[in-house]
Amino acid sequence: MNTPLQAQFAQRLQNLRQQMANARQDAALIFSLDNLRYLYNYSGEAAYGLVTQTNLYLITDYRFLEQAEDECVSDRIPTKVICRDRDKQSLGQAIAVILQSEKVEHVWFEAEHISVGVWDTIAKDNPQAIFTPSTGALEHQRKSKDAWEVAQIKAAAHIADQALAALLPQIQIGASEAELALELDYQMQKRGSQGLSFVTILGFGARSALPHCIPSQKRLQIGDLIVLDFGAVVNGYRSDMTRSFVAGPASSQQQAMFDTVNAAQQAAFALLRDGVAAQEVNAASAAVLQASKFAEFAGPGLGHGLGIKLHEQPFISPVCRENLLRNYVVTIEPGIYIPQYGGVRVEDDVLITENSFEFLTHAPKHFELSL
């Protein structure tokens, strides 16, 4: 780990330890791989974290030992990497060894990130510990992005912008959803995306109304609506962008859908700033959709936090009780989905700032493709 990064990771760890102290917890078990990346810089699999006020442990096995030692261990945040022989020691036993050597009693655990089956065995192997769910402790921290995290999401969004620009000339009548999605995925990875942010969504015609359309062999026809939702990954951080097009001149209905969705997005943008209620932003956007002739086809929910995970807190919806704060990165993605006809969605990634917001995605929003 390089030195500037060590400072960021030390801060994250300090914040967690403060939360633990406030909750009178001596240790915290970390089961989410996303949280292990956030807290340990670990990007492998099959690992479990244990944090005390003075030590930091990572339990893994031979398959990920070298990677763990390479990624986690640093001068500033010395991580004790434990290599467990899975044939001889259960996860609960490995945890028990640490808890007993640390003489800790009150232990947080990530109840959202461990199965009932595995947890039952861990609890059985640790009858002396008093376990309490740490629900959302790290997810809460992760909502606010530091400068390095924003830079990674920005870099991912830039790759996605560039890949879309490279794809556009290939969107031609007769091309299939699957062909174009594969080409887009290839262009993102050529530009440095580490895999994909998620399985690219690409639908033509009536299939564009499926909010999670998996690319098929369907071929593009003149007049089809096209919805394209995709993202890149840089150092584990994701981008997420949707653009909608029409193959050729838009019908008045299609143009009205596009204009309505854009107006709904603008209504949300106009309110973004440090401290705004997520519900208020959602309501402003929803009001535009509800006032249109497409009211019954509006998608619920407006957006979500974005970072190590594609969908993370906060979730901008009618039931969200949170405010958006500066340094949050969220998507704003209103959509209209008319079954058996087609859909339009536009989605950007934005960084909330003190008085407004900053775009992280920059691809142009032109609707009609000249084919």
Judged by the rule CB under 8 A, the positions of this chain that interact with a copy of itself are 43-45, 62-64, 66-67, 85, 87, 109, 111-120, 133, 135, 182, 185-186, 189-190, 195, 199, 209-212, 214, 299-300, 317-319, 339
Nearer to a copy of itself, 74 or 194 (CB): 194
CB of 210 to a copy of itself, least distance (A): 6
The residues near 15 (Cβ < 8 Å, ≥ 6 apart) are 141
In this structure, the dihedral spanned by the alpha carbons of residues 184, 188, 191 and 195, taken in order and rounded to 10 degrees, is -140
* 150 vs 277, beta carbon nearer a copy of itself: 277
| H/E element, 116 | helix 116-125
Residue 221, phi then psi, degrees to nearest 5: -120, 155
Q: Which residues pair with 368 in a beta bridge?
A: 246
Structure tokens at 52: 């005390």
116 in Cβ contact with 92 (< 8 Å) = no
- Strand 56-60 versus strand 48-52 pairing type: antiparallel
Cα atoms in the Cβ-side hemisphere of radius 13 Å centred on 48: 23
Q: Where are the alpha helices (DSSP H) in 126-251?
A: 137-142, 147-167, 177-190
CB of 211 to a copy of itself, least distance (A): 4
**Nearest-approach distance from CB 251 to a copy of itself, in angstroms:** 22
Cβ-based nearer residue to a copy of itself, 250 or 264: 264
Considering the complex, state which of residue 197 and residue 357 has its C-beta at the smaller distance from a copy of itself. 197
In the bound state with a copy of itself, the residue whose beta carbon lies nearer, of 13 and 178, is 178
Q: Give min distance, CB of 93 to a copy of itself, in A.
A: 14
Beta carbon of residue 45, minimum distance to a copy of itself (angstroms, whole number): 7
Shortest CB 31 distance to a copy of itself, Å: 9
Choose between 44 and 314: whose C-beta lies nearer to a copy of itself. 44
Those residues with Cβ within 8 angstroms of residue 116's Cβ, 6 or more apart along the chain or in another chain: none
